[in-house]
Structure 1
Amino acid sequence: MSEVKNSFKPMESKPKPILIIGAGLAGLALALSLQKLSIPCTVYEARPKDVRLGGAVMLSPNALRVLDTLGAYARIKSKGYQFETLSMETDERIPMGTYYFGSEQMYGYKGLRIYRRELVHELIAMAEEAGVHMEFEKKYKRVISESEDNIEVEFDDGTIIDAAMLIGTDGIHSQVREYLAPGSKPKYLGQTAIAGAVKTSNVSLPADYKLPVSIAGKAGVFILAPQDIDGSELLAGTQYAVPELTYAESRAISSNPEKMIEMLRRDKADWSELVQSAMENMIPQSMYIWPFYAVPKIESWVSTHSKVVIIGDAAHAIPPTIGQGANQALEEALGLSILLGKGNHVGDLEKWTEHRSERIASLMEMTRKMNNNRLPKAQRDALEESQFWKPNKERPGEEMRWLYEYDVAKELHGLGL
């Protein structure tokens, strides 16, 4: 487990704070890490502290290593479902391979599927215990000015703050990104996930059935994954090629559970009894849709004077297919804090973000291939084998080492940072 070491030497008796916009996973992890380095920071979140957070996140060893460094892993590991592999098979139960989400023996950690609300609430509690200043229902508006010495930031309520830096962890529809790359809107990728929860006992599972599982059928791929501590509840869902929804259309569908269940059951007749039993027993209030978006590659995640930085979904947004969005955001939160703790040397942030961009590009290519794995059978049959993600059959799990063995501090050292 790597340690966050403090080499931050403020030049002022009362240094200006770093402003973090967004109290999601990246923002909270960044704040905790900066606090350990005695670097003053404040987290601002537009939503209420008790906002309802739906769904679960998949944490793989690369992110759990970060949370371990911050002292969070011990507090959350018993609050989610721990597992190592996902089985891939056809709807006729023909094995297709194994996808590793973790392995204590190979990568040091099992995978952990945990409700987003549990994880965020635990990180907020840790931030409060550590004395991190946080303000909720306070919305970032704009950067007034930026120089080599400081940055002035305005909020919707008229507050103006003179700060050391502004860091955007405000998600795929980031307002901070607009300052760095005006007009860089997320691009719809043509696929939308439709999913929710179902009680495990209500699904017609064979006695020897191994979960989690991805089931490839005529209509695409259907996922069943335990997401409660004891596995008593399953994530159940699929993804479809659908036209992009307007904001109003998305809101209307998201507020109509029965409509989402109807969408999920669109190709019900093409699935086995097992999948049909999940479709028939979805918990209405658990339903959600997740359109797949990506952020177009922008020139830099760092402003001219290095006073504004974006990370996580604000910078790159990875579709949820391989479950790496939250994991990459946590890697970047720790990496950025370590860099800032060493002092912001000219070119360091640019060098680090270039490294991060290369890693994200590799994950986007992996995501593209995995999305091909999940196409309807007729479309899958039209593609060459090289267009699909494939496991290493000779050495299972080896194909994931580059992703899961990533150690933030060691990577920075290897970059000379």
Structure 2
Amino acid sequence: MKSIAIVGAGIGGCTTYLFLKKHLSPHIPDLEIHIYESYPPPPYISKSTSTHPTNAEERPNQRSTLTTDVTTALGGGLGLSPNGVRVLKTLDPSIYTRIKNSSYETDVFALQVSSGRMLGNFSAGGKRYGHGTMFIMRAALHDAVLEKVDLKDISFGRKVRRVVDGEERVRVEFEDGGDVEVDFVVGADGVWGRTRDAIPESAGVKAEYDGLVGVGASLDEKTTRKILDELKDKKNVVIPKSPMTMTFGPSAFFGTVLNIDKINKTPSEEPAPGDQDLERDLPFAGWWSTFPMDPPPTSKTPFSEVKDQVLAKHKGWTPLITALIENSGVEGAGEVTHVLPRWITPSLPKWTSDSGRILLAGDAAHCMPPDSGQGVSCAVEDAMTIALLCEAIFAESSVKESDENEKFKKLCDLYANLRKPRCEYIVAEARKRGDMKRELGVVEQTIRNVVMWAMCKVMPESAMDAFYSYDVATEVKKALNGKAPAVKGKGKVVVRED
């Protein structure tokens, strides 16, 4: 193998590139790995096309908006689960350091009902898994991996028109009329990507709107302190102790990110030297609301057009929730808002082409409901799996090397057997969680609340092993040795390194 094209420079595409550089390039010194991204470059790269900027003021941060129309600005905040954190730490400790300094980490999610009554705490990770869940702005996480990519190996503004499979080479055609031929293509181009069309069995499968929309905002220090100051003298106001709180009501869901430890610092306290650019990536408060909406809005629908609907869905809920919504989308509030309809990819018949020279990764293969908290974590698991399999298959020192076409087919077969069952299991579990955020009757609400309360009371430490303890390297090794890989993680992982 001499050349690889990665379609898509999102978090999944960048981590695939970095893992391949780490595991495969040392064995094939002249290997060319190039990323093609349809969006234009972010402004901080436009100013310096040969190297990444060192000036923190030129880096993207949580205040980037969707109108910037660059891949780094897409999306709001996300939860990076312990399994995803471990993968990124394995990739590059400096990436881990950057995301740790750009996130809020918690071992528990607090669960409550719309009145503010607490149901209990649900595991978000912890010592058993090496890490908790990290809340981070998508732009900050993307920046952390993108800045490790050699800029000569990425082309922005190259929108793919078609990918054509072949027994010996794969042709990637662009809308600007150009094309490239490579040995191998990784389609990390998301739910609307074109790489999937090169796999006939999956080409006709289109993303489906799941009936729910996510609306949210991130608030700056001034706005957050104003909200808390106005609420401090009101009765029945409960300020969550956990940085992340999940609130369930009759016809909607509300998530809150509020780091009281940070808020309790005096405004004059400054971040540690060298961390100023990281601290600004963190909103003082963030929230997202999930509820049914038909027809769906678009990702470019202004927050102002749906704000009244959000307020109506949460009317009568705990005062903190109402205050967060009312103070979002206000001129001068210094926050970023987003409106994101939830598009889900039905299970694809195949993730790989017949030749074995094309495979799908991340959202292109398994765009899952955000209720799993595993979307990005599964994407980086995909990336590590691809690289470890490539290293094992294409870096063989055996004198009698197998035919290259057979190697590609072996790679794709192992990859699909490793990743497809796990991701489909997670999607199924996420759909169950998403159903709890739809319109429910009184009896259904009561059952849901009792079940969640009971889970918080009796849930063992190992309850989240299936999600959080999955180990990519172990499962790849098992698959290469002909053993059946695990769909779920098993057992304790590591002791946390604080």
- Give TM-score, length-normalised by structure 1: 0.86
1:18 and 1:163 in contact (8 A); partners too = yes
What residue number does 1:92 align with?
Answer: 115
What letter matches 1:109 in structure 2?
Answer: H
Distance in structure 1 (CA, Å) of the matches to 2:324 and 2:449: 32
Structure 1 contact 268–279 (Cα < 8 Å) conserved: no
1:409 alignment partner, one of 473, 476, 486: 473
Structure 1 residues 179-210: Cα deviation after superposition (integer angstroms, max 9, x where no partner)? 21222110111111121123432144646643
Match of 1:291 in 2: 341
Asked if the contact 2:110/2:120 (under 8 Å) is kept, the reply is yes
Partner of 2:242: 210
Contact 1:373 1:380 in 2 (8 A): no
Q: Which runs of no fewer than 5 residues in structure 1 stay unpaired?
A: 1-9
1:222-253 deviations in Å (ceiling 9; x for gaps): 111148959762221221112243xxx526xx
Pair 1:83 & 2:106 matched: yes
Question: Aligned partners of 1:369 and 1:48: how far apart in 2?
Answer: 37
Residue among 9, 20, 39 paired with 1:34: 20
Range that drifts further, 370-379 or 274-283: 370-379
SS of residue paired to 2:480: coil
Matched, 1:154 2:173: yes
* Residue 383 of structure 1: how far off its partner (Å): 8.9
Q: Secondary structure at the match of 1:399?
A: coil
Superposed displacement of residue 177, structure 1: 0.8
Residues 186 and 221 of structure 1, relative CA distance in 2, 3 Å threshold: same
Partner Cα separation in structure 2 for residue 387 and residue 312 of structure 1? 35
Aligned residues of 2:356 and 2:408 also touching (Cα < 8 A): no
Contact (CA 8 Å) 2:369, 2:434: kept in 1 or not? no
The structure whose Rg is larger is 2
Q: Which amino acid aligns with 1:240?
A: F
Q: Deviations over 1:125-168 (max 9, x none)?
A: 1112xx76111111112124511x22122112222212011111
1:250 maps to amino acid: T
Does residue 19 (structure 1) correspond to residue 5 (structure 2)? The answer is: yes
Partner secondary structure for residue 386 of structure 2:
helix
- The aligned counterpart of 2:298 is 250
- More displaced 10-residue stretch of structure 1: 373-382 or 156-165: 373-382
Q: Percent identity?
A: 24
Query: CA, structure 1 residues 215+155, in 2 after alignment: closer, same or farther (shift >3 Å)?
Result: same
What residue is the counterpart of 1:271 in the other structure? Answer: 317
| Aligned residue type for 1:34 | L
Distance verdict in 2 for CA 1:25–1:207, change over 3 Å = closer
Indicate the residue corresponding to 1:176 in structure 2: 195
Tell me the number of residue pairs that the alignment of Structure 1 and Structure 2 aligns: 394
Q: CA RMSD in A?
A: 2.6
CA contact (8 A) 2:302 2:339 kept: no
CA deviations over 1:320-348 (Å, ceiling 9, x no partner): 12321111111001101111122236444
Q: What is the CA distance between 1:301 and its match in structure 2?
A: 0.4
How far off is 1:33 after superposition?
Answer: 0.8
Counterpart of 2:246, as a letter, is S
Q: CA deviation at 1:53?
A: 3.2
Contact 1:87 1:98 in 2 (8 A): yes
Among 224, 227, 249, the alignment partner of 1:200 is 224
SS at match of 1:288: strand
Higher strand share: 1
Counterpart of 2:415 in structure 1 is 352
Contact 1:152 1:161 in 2 (8 A): yes
1:265/1:82 Cα in 2 relative to 1: closer, same or farther (>3 Å)? same
Shift of 1:396: 4.1
Per-residue deviation, 1:385: 6.1
Distance (whole Å) between structure 1 residues aligned to residue 391 and residue 431 of structure 2: 36
Q: Distance in 2 between matches of 1:208 and 1:81?
A: 14
* Equivalent runs, 1:58-73 vs 2, <5 Å: 58-71=79-92, 72-73=95-96
Instruction: For structure 2, list consecutive stretches of 5 or more residues without a partner in the other structure.
Output: 26-30, 43-69, 232-236, 263-278, 394-406, 482-498
Instruction: Report Cα offsets for 1:32-71 as digits up to 9, x if no partner.
Output: 0111121431001010120233412211111111111111
Distance 1:232 1:153 in 2: 40
Distance 2:442 2:196 in 1: 36
- 2:156 corresponds to which residue? 136
Alignment of 1:357-376 (within 5 A): 357-376=420-439
Contact 2:303 2:339 in 1 (8 A): no
C-alpha distance in structure 2 between counterparts of 1:20 and 1:141, whole Å: 14
Is the contact between residue 436 and residue 448 of structure 2 (CA under 8 Å) also seen in structure 1?
no
CA distance in 1: counterparts of 2:165 and 2:314, whole angstroms = 55
